[in-house]
């Protein structure tokens, strides 16, 4: 079970034609644990607006909405690239390719949560906003506790 295919991930990885970026290629072995981790992160982020049943239907890449596949592919590529580069170098720039991919993916996730990006064919559940009246007694009506209740 994964949101992405290896091809989705490889689309975001540099091919090594840039001298500053080593060639990194995803395969089913080196991304298996990363895919599981990214899936957990995405489900955790979206759990506040999407039902569990909706996300459970995303059991393979063809059933996953394209925007979610894009986010997952960016996060997986970022982690794989970071892992590969960190194995050979301890000096990583703050605007490293892995960080740029991560930032882009998280921005898209936050835009989905805020409603700026719509996930097609998905019903978004928004919780009702609560006011202070939900937490403090405001009168002597038939509540579990009231302002005039003796302590």
Taking the C-alpha atoms of residue 97 and residue 76, their distance in angstroms, rounded to an integer, is: 12
The pLDDT profile of the chain, 151 residues, written as one tens digit per residue, is: 689 999 999 999 887 655 565 678 888 898 999 999 999 999 999 988 888 889 999 999 999 999 999 999 999 999 998 888 877 777 667 778 889 999 999 999 999 998 899 998 888 765 554 455 555 555 555 566 666 666 6
Torsion (CA) 93, 109, 114, 60 in degrees, nearest 10: 180
Question: Residue ranges of the domains in the chain?
Answer: 6-126
pLDDT (0 to 100) of residue 60: 93
Under 8 Å between Cβ of 50 and 125 = yes
Nearest to 4 by CA among 63, 59, 103, 72: 72
Reduce the DSSP state of residue 10 to 3 states and report it: helix
Taking the C-alpha atoms of residue 87 and residue 96, their distance in angstroms, rounded to an integer, is: 15
Taking the C-alpha atoms of residue 133 and residue 118, their distance in angstroms, rounded to an integer, is: 32
């Amino acid at each position: 079970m994964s949101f992405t295919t290896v091809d989705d991930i490889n689309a975001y990885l540099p091919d090594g034609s840039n001298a500053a970026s080593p060639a990194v290629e995803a395969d089913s072995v080196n991304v298996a644990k990363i895919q599981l981790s990214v899936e957990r992160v995405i489900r955790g982020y979206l759990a506040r607006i999407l039902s569990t049943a909706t996300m459970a239907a995303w059991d393979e890449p063809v059933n996953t909405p394209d925007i979610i596949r894009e986010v997952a592919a960016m996060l997986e590529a970022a982690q794989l690239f970071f892992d590969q580069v960190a194995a050979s170098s301890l000096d990583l720039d703050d605007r490293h390719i892995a960080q740029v991919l991560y930032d882009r993916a998280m921005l898209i996730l936050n835009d989905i949560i805020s409603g700026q990006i719509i996930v097609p064919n998905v019903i978004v559940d928004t919780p009702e906003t609560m006011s202070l009246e939900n937490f403090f007694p405001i009168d002597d009506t038939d509540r579990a506790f009231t302002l005039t209740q003796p302590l």
